[in-house]
């Protein structure tokens, strides 16, 4: 059976992505932290706290049996830190690098050891309005993730490694002014379509 793992599946966009994959006949292993995904056929909910290395290790240890069957991994997890550039501290960059970059590395390193793993999809924020002065630490971490993913793509040619970028969507944490916004359901449909198309692109802007 086609199986997808989605981190942060209980977020606004994560719930819509879960629905899209369920409608396409996937078994969805759905990660959540504070909000349990809706109880529905085809969903395996897995709780995890990714804020520390011990939390990640515990997650992989407790859930390895259901994670090992995932062919596709959607790394949607990554809290957004809002702070004026002048007020940023070293700890803010530590926070963003852990949550928005290192967690992605941990996921890839776990799944690349699983025989069914075929596709790793990460996400990026497309800054059309030069808004990064409010989320600079997040932006720097995402840039590092992009460079790392390019290296991973070269070193693991048998695994489809892709980065999907979008500017925002309705109900998102960060919304750029004067931006035409997709609804979460519309954006999820577009993302799912891109993933299922199995294109050879590295970065896809939608």
Whole-number pLDDT of residue 131: 57
Residue pair 77/17 in contact (Cβ under 8 Å)? The answer is: no
Burial of 26 by CB count in 10 Å (0-12 exposed, 13-18 middle, 19+ buried)? buried
Largest pairwise CA distance in the chain: 50
Q: Measured between alpha carbons, how far is 149 from 164 in angstroms, rounded to an integer?
A: 12
Q: Measured between alpha carbons, how far is 197 from 147 in angstroms, rounded to an integer?
A: 24
Whole-number pLDDT of residue 168: 66
Q: What's phi and psi for 161, nearest 5 deg?
A: -110, 120
Whole-number pLDDT of residue 156: 95
Whole-number pLDDT of residue 29: 97
Q: Measured between alpha carbons, how far is 25 from 68 in angstroms, rounded to an integer?
A: 18
Residue 131 corresponds to which tokens in the numbers above?
Answer: 């808004």
Whole-number pLDDT of residue 82: 82
What pLDDT tens digit does each residue of the chain (206 aa) get?
899 999 999 998 999 999 999 999 999 999 999 877 666 789 999 999 999 999 999 999 999 999 999 999 999 998 888 888 889 999 999 999 999 999 999 999 999 999 999 999 999 876 555 556 778 898 899 999 999 999 999 999 999 999 998 876 555 665 555 566 778 898 899 899 988 887 766 776 65
Q: What is the pTM of this model?
A: 0.91
Residue 102 corresponds to which tokens in the numbers above?
Answer: 């290192």
Whole-number pLDDT of residue 135: 83
Q: Enumerate the domain spans of the chain.
A: 3-205
What are the strands of the beta sheet with 3-6, ordered from one edge? Answer: 43-47, 27-32, 3-6, 72-75, 119-125, 160-166, 203-205
Beta strands (DSSP E) in 26-159 are 27-32, 43-47, 72-75, 119-125
Q: Which long-range contacts (CB under 8 A, 24 or more apart) does 149-152 make?
A: 149/104, 149/122, 149/202, 150/202, 152/108, 152/120
Whole-number pLDDT of residue 53: 95
Q: Count CB neighbours of 144 within 10 A.
A: 17
Q: CATH for 3-205, among 3.30.230.10, 3.90.550.10, 3.10.270.10, 3.40.50.720?
A: 3.40.50.720
């Amino acid at each position: 059976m086609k199986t997808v793992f989605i981190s942060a599946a209980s977020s606004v966009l994560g719930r819509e992505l879960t629905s899209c994959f369920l409608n396409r006949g996937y078994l969805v292993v759905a990660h959540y932290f504070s909000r349990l995904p809706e109880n529905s056929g085809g969903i395996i909910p897995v709780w995890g706290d990714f804020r520390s290395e011990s939390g990640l290790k515990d997650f992989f240890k407790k859930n390895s049996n259901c994670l090992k069957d995932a062919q596709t991994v959607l790394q949607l997890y990554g809290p957004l830190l809002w702070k004026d550039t002048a007020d940023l501290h070293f700890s803010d960059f530590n926070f963003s690098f852990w949550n928005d970059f290192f967690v992605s590395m941990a996921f890839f390193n776990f799944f690349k050891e699983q025989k069914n793993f075929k596709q790793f999809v990460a996400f990026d924020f497309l800054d059309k309005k030069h808004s990064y002065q409010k989320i600079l630490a997040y932006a720097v971490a995402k840039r590092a993730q992009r460079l790392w993913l390019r290296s991973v793509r070269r070193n693991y040619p048998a695994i489809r490694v892709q980065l999907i970028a979008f500017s925002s969507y309705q109900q998102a944490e960060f919304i750029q002014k004067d931006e035409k916004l997709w609804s979460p359901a519309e954006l999820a449909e577009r993302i799912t379509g891109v993933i299922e198309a199995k294109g050879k692109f590295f970065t896809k802007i939608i």
